[in-house]
Chains A and B, each alone.
Chain A
Amino acid sequence: MTAIAAMMKVATAAAAIKQLFTRFRPADLVILALSIIITISSFFIVYAKNNSELQVVIEGMGQSYIYPLSADETLRVRGPLGDTLVVIHHGAVHVEDSPCKNKLCIAMGEISQQGQWVACLPNQVFVRIIGKPVKDGLDGSTY
């Protein structure tokens, strides 16, 4: 008896759900479809793009900026000594100029792989690359 009662309950619940969907009005369906499309496409746009692309994180004076590595930008980053000139070009980043004494940051050259970084300690500017790790690259090698 309880099994039959349970089946009856399921049947009425199913009927209620079916009734609910048939009661949708035209604009409801349009908005529902639109909302689903926007939600699904937002997943693709936001996550698909940023998985394949490396990002440059630039930090200086308590501020931080994120740029895609593919960008073509010349940035002035404020530090205590003055402006450090960071250049993103052809998928690589380097420090073009910095008001520090030893210019180590300029000497560090270009970086282009995930995990690499360039820092100008006197001017408190820190540039690093984040994103997917390179699978078949070598960290280093000796002969």
Chain B
Amino acid sequence: MDQPIKRQSTLALLGALCLFLSTIEYLIPKPLPFIRIGLANIPIMLAIDLFPFASFFLLVIIKIVGQAIITGSLFSYVFLFSFGGTVASALGMYLLRKLIGKEGISFVGIGIAGALLSNAVQILLAWLLIFGPSAQFIAPPLLLLGLITGLLLGIFCQHFSEQSRWYKQTIEEHQNDESR
């Protein structure tokens, strides 16, 4: 691919961060397997402002496949849920940021919307493909947890994007790359 070298290295860094955070999340004990904190979505949220769509989507694919390999769910139906949820939330978050703009929406709103979309799609897939109407019983606690984790991750990303020198520098370098 004919990508600027700086963007490639940022993509590799964020991709590796996705895998690392997936591992960390996998190590945290959880009462039910569907409950996710969504740590691996932090690099994806940060990538929204850093990359054009193609690179952003590549990162999303890296996250999905990497997470599936780490959690050992690559060829199970869990992968389908993970794929659907992540793609929907990533596309939704990207579109929201691009359509509304930085002044209209911060990472807090993006995080909540992403969690909501991810959960909604996963519940829908569970309803349609495997569990039938009884899938609705898992919906309320899942949505509540998603709201909380989405809010927390959003606050973290907003704080990070405002405070991090690395983040500001990377955005500048990407812009320089593209204008060259």
Complex partner residue of B109 from A20, A28, A66, CB under 8 angstroms: A28
B105 to chain A, nearest CB (A): 4
Pair A28/B106 contact, Cβ less than 8 Å: yes
A64 to chain B, nearest CB (A): 9
Q: How large is the interface on A (under 10, 10 to 19, 20 to 34, 35 or more residues)?
A: 20 to 34
A42–B120 CA distance with the chains assembled, in angstroms: 11
For residues 53 through 96 of chain B, which have their beta carbon under 8 Å from a beta carbon of chain A?
Answer: 96
Q: Which residues of B contact A43 (CB under 8 A)?
A: 140, 144
Pair B112/A66 contact, Cβ less than 8 Å: no
A36–B116 CA distance with the chains assembled, in angstroms: 10
Between A24, A32, A65, the greatest number of chain B beta carbons within 10 A of the residue's beta carbon is seen for: A32
Complex partner residue of A31 from B112, B143, B158, CB under 8 angstroms: B112
Can you identify 11 A-B contacts, CB atoms within 8 angstroms?
A27-B104, A27-B109, A28-B109, A28-B112, A31-B105, A32-B108, A32-B112, A39-B147, A42-B139, A42-B140, A66-B133
- Which residue numbers of B lie inside 8 Å of A, CB to CB? 96, 100, 103-106, 108-109, 112-113, 115-116, 132-134, 136-137, 139-140, 143-144, 147, 150-151, 155, 158
